[in-house]
Amino acid sequence: MSLLAPAVVQEHLSNVWQKPGEPFNVSATLESGQAFRWRKDVAGIWWGTVGKVAFAVWQAEGSPFSPVFWESFPVAGQTELFEDFFRLSLSLPTLYAEWESAEAEMDACIQSFCGLRVLRQDPVECFFGFQCASCNTVIKIERSVRKLAERYGQPILMPEWCPFGPVLYAFPEVESLTSADEATLRADLWGFRAPRVIALASILASEGEGVLHRLRSVPYMEAHAYLCSLQGIGAKVADCICLFCLDKDCAVPIDTHTRQIAVRLFSPDSSSRSLTPRVYAMMADAYRERFGLYAGWAQQYLFFGELRRAERFMDPKLD
């Protein structure tokens, strides 16, 4: 493994993030199922957008303590936004010590995904991205969300050396989605979720600008209750939104993977029980009791480990 950045990185990514003793694993962070529109090119550079700003990010693979090179577009050097999105002000080693003493299985996850961070995404993109997740596969979610941005989002002009085209697209404004066409969304694989997108956009638009952003400043339970009150949003999607964009670090989304983990680690007797609201709450509380205020972050490590295990089971060549 070489820590030497490719020529294209040295030439074009002029900003560097590195903090002694503080890990940041770019690939694990962006591959762990939190965000659906980041893509890696052949040089290993990750490309994605945060609001109306596009980023290119590179780090030597498998080296979470190595420098991270990055650039933003169209305005260069958006350090505050970069550090905010990747939550780089949060120190992980302290959390690791707490998690390892709470759960033996965390040790292997931390070894494997050291530096994985929970993102602070744009609430509108996160909200609609996880709309697409119900009864779906990650590949199809990524395709559908990307299509949505291309149809209704604002283009961001990219430099000629960007391999993903002359423009990337910002995620659409809520107002743009209120006038989206259901048949078009269905053609983009949104399926039965298509009318929900339009209906939810109308509700959010009627609530006034920034209704989702305002949830960042209310307690977790209040934000979760508001999201669950919306037609088509259940406890799992509400928890994904709370964790990945609303600063609710204790939110624990219980899906098929995190449920398997909970059964294995905390409550083997619940393996045959249906995931009713009561069982959902019980499992999420079990994570919080064990991992504390950052239970959602700990869950993300265990979730990613489970995901990787499932991928290896499907395709042994990955070993």
**Site residues (vs DNA, CB under 7 A):** 33-34, 130, 133-140, 186, 189, 191-192, 228, 230-238, 240, 253, 255-257, 273-274, 276-279, 314
Residue 72 or 258: the one with the smaller Cβ distance to DNA is: 258
CA distance 93 to 116: 11
- Closest separation between CB of residue 171 and DNA, Å? 17
Nearest to DNA of 44, 232 (CB atom): 232
Measured from the CB atom, the residue of 97 and 138 that comes closer to DNA is 138
Q: Two tokens at 167? A: 């423009």
**Residue 74 Cβ, how far from DNA at the closest point, in Å?**
29
**Token pair of 90 as six digits:** 């949060």
Task: Report the candidate in 29, 33, 61, 24 with the shortest Cα–Cα distance to residue 45.
Answer: 61
Q: Choose between 19 and 312: whose C-beta lies nearer to DNA.
A: 312
Closest distance to DNA from the beta carbon of 257 (Å): 6
Q: Side chain identity at 80, as an amino acid letter?
A: E
- Report in angstroms how near the CB of residue 10 gets to DNA at its nearest: 32
**How far apart are CB 225 and DNA at their closest, in Å?**
12
Amino acid at 244: F
Select 12 or 273, whichever has its Cβ closest to DNA: 273
Q: Which residues contact 219 (CB under 8 A, 6 or more apart)?
A: none
Q: State the minimum distance, in angstroms, from the CB of residue 55 to DNA.
A: 20
**H/E/C letters for each residue in 196-262?**
HHHHHHHHHHHHCCCHHHHHHHCCHHHHHHHHHCCCCCCHHHHHHHHHHHCCCCCCCCCCHHHHHHH
Q: 101 — phi, psi (to 5°)?
A: -75, -20
Among 65, 43, 63, 55, CA closest to 14: 55
The nearest distance, CB 240 to DNA, in angstroms, is 5
Based on CB atoms, which residue is closest to DNA, 60 or 145?
145
Contact present, 3 and 11 (Cβ < 8 Å):
no
Tell me the C-alpha distance between 171 and 128, whole Å. Answer: 10
Nearer to DNA, 129 or 172 (CB): 129
